[in-house]
Amino acid sequence: MTHSHDNAPGPRQAKPALLITGGTGFIGSHTAVVLLESGYSLVLVDSLINSTREVGARIAQLADLEPWGDHLWRHASGSPWLALLQGDVRSARDLDRAFSLMPNRIAGVIHLAGLKSVGESSDEPLNYWDANVSGSITLLRAMEKHDCKTLVFSSSAAVYGETQEVPISESAPLRPTNPYARTKAAIEQILQDLAASRKGWRISILRYFNPIGAHPSGMIGEHPRMPPTNLFPVLCQVANGSRERVEVFGDDWPTPDGSGVRDYLHVLDLADGHALAIRALLEGNAQLTQLNLGTGRGWSVLDLIACLEKISGRAIPAVIAPRRAGDVAVSVADPSRAQAVLGWKARRGLEEMCRDGWAWFSSSHGCSHD
């Protein structure tokens, strides 16, 4: 279905209640703000292994909600409301509590909870298969039990792995190159099998490219507890002086400046994509759709460094290191299916991503975990 609107969430009107796993994480917190602003009530379930409880209050504040109880907030008019539950997606009991926490039926789930460090996944593969795959199976069983069969799942461009296609469309072969990416591809397979069982599941698999940036308020952002490995947080740490330099993995790629090219997108554009995806599912029939969420435009590592240097006014020393196994020269989305199906298009440019991301990492909230 094609919608004629742009990404704007529209006026706040009462909408159904949704559950977001991993709801206090980087992408979850931004998605929660966007969904609350467009009227959905939310239960956030998060184990807090990579985020903090305080994020709940900040989401509430950004969405203009008032405290209403223990980890519970609501708008002055009574709706929407927000509940935060500390729980693990591998626990059927925690999920039962989440589905029954509020009197409203949960109409759909946005499943973001999981572990996401590519490097760590090679060292601790069992943790990744357990959190990502076992966690997803436990969640899907809980959804069946509570008669909720509408799901937006956060997959990753990492599932394409060594695919050489540029730009990458959803029909490109999946060639994941590390345990993290293989867990995402495995969950996608499970979801395909579930859709084929013809029990009325409505599923949207979103393959994110490289989300960066933050809410412009500087109140929520990426909050890694472990030392970050993604490029943007590393660059911010170099810019704020908590890390000496950044390693650029390869300067001999077949790209204009020799460094790797990636499709960076603003986390708020990604959040808008989730809002449109869940709405399309709630209004649609049984389906399984895979959608790339990216800008369709590539930026090199050196472009990103130059942009952040300009925005922050700080020097970001870089050293060239050997290429890493499994990396590709260029990974850029063909986002045309998301535009055709959802009417979604990334609107924010690289400078805005760097400005908002830097505002977060240089704020007291953002650097509290350095």
Ligand X SMILES: NC(=O)c1ccc[n+]([C@@H]2O[C@H](COP(=O)([O-])OP(=O)(O)OC[C@H]3O[C@@H](n4cnc5c(N)ncnc54)[C@H](O)[C@@H]3O)[C@@H](O)[C@H]2O)c1
Catalytic residues: 180
AA identity, residue 266: H
Is there binding between residue 90 and ligand X (CB under 6 A)? Answer: yes
Residue whose C-alpha is closest to residue 265's, from 307, 296, 219, 311: 296
**Phi then psi for 133, rounded to 5 degrees?**
-85, -50
Residue 92 binds ligand X, judged by CB under 6 A: no
Closest CA to 121 of 177, 186, 174: 177
Report in angstroms the alpha-carbon separations of 66 from 79, 102, 112, 132, 176. Answer: 11, 17, 25, 33, 44
Query: Is residue 28 within the footprint of ligand X (CB under 6 A)?
Result: yes
By beta carbon distance, the residue nearest ligand X is 25
Provide, rounded to whole angstroms, the least separation between the CB of residue 182 and ligand X: 12
Based on the shown chain and the rule CB under 6 A, indicate whether residue 114 belongs to the binding site for ligand X. yes
Residues that bind ligand X (rule: CB under 6 A) add up to a total of: 29
Q: Which of 33, 83, 112, 235 binds ligand X (CB under 6 A)?
A: 112
Does 47 bind ligand X (CB under 6 A)? Our answer is yes
**Side chain identity, residue 265:** L
Cα separation of 130 and 114, whole Å? 9
| Closer by beta carbon to ligand X, 132 or else 150 | 132
If binding is defined by CB under 6 A, does position 46 make contact with ligand X? yes
Which residue stretch of 19-27, 139-147, 194-202, 309-317 sits at the interface with ligand X (rule: CB under 6 A)?
Answer: 19-27
Q: Which residues contact 77 (CB under 8 A, 6 or more apart)?
A: none
Bridge-based pairing state of the strands 264-266 and 210-212: parallel
Least spacing, CB of residue 90 vs ligand X, in Å: 5
251 vs 359, which CB is nearer to ligand X? Answer: 359
- Is 19 one of the binding residues for ligand X (CB under 6 A)? no
273 binds ligand X (CB under 6 A): no
d(CA 366, CA 370): 8
Query: Of 34-42, 48-56, 290-298, 300-308, which segment contacts ligand X by CB under 6 A?
Result: 48-56
Cβ neighbors of 181 (< 8 A, separation 6 or more) are 118, 156, 158, 159, 161
Going through 213-332 in order, the beta strands assigned E by DSSP cover 246-249, 261-262, 264-266, 287-293, 299-300, 318-321, 330-331
Strands, E, within 324-367: which ranges?
A: 330-331
User: Smallest distance, Å, CB 212 to ligand X?
Assistant: 8
Q: Which of 39, 49, 97, 234 binds ligand X (CB under 6 A)?
A: 49
Interface pattern 214-253 for ligand X (x via CB under 6 A): ----------------x-----------------------
Q: How far is the CB of 78 from ligand X (least distance, A)?
A: 28
Q: Which segment (206-214, 276-284, 295-303, 329-337) binds ligand X by CB under 6 A?
A: 206-214
Q: What tokens were used for 80?
A: 């929407």
Report the C-alpha dihedral over residues 297, 301, 307, 308, rounded to 10 degrees: 130
Please state, in angstroms and rounded to a whole number, the distance separating the CA atoms of residues 368 and 365: 5
Q: Which of 12, 16, 39, 48 binds ligand X (CB under 6 A)?
A: 48
Looking at 74, 116, 202, 266, which residue binds ligand X (CB under 6 A)?
Answer: 116
260 part of the interface to ligand X, by CB under 6 A:
no
Nearer CB in complex with ligand X: 79/134: 134
174 binds ligand X (CB under 6 A): no
Contact positions vs ligand X (CB under 6 A):
21-22, 24-28, 46-51, 88-90, 112-116, 131, 135, 154, 156, 208, 210-211, 230
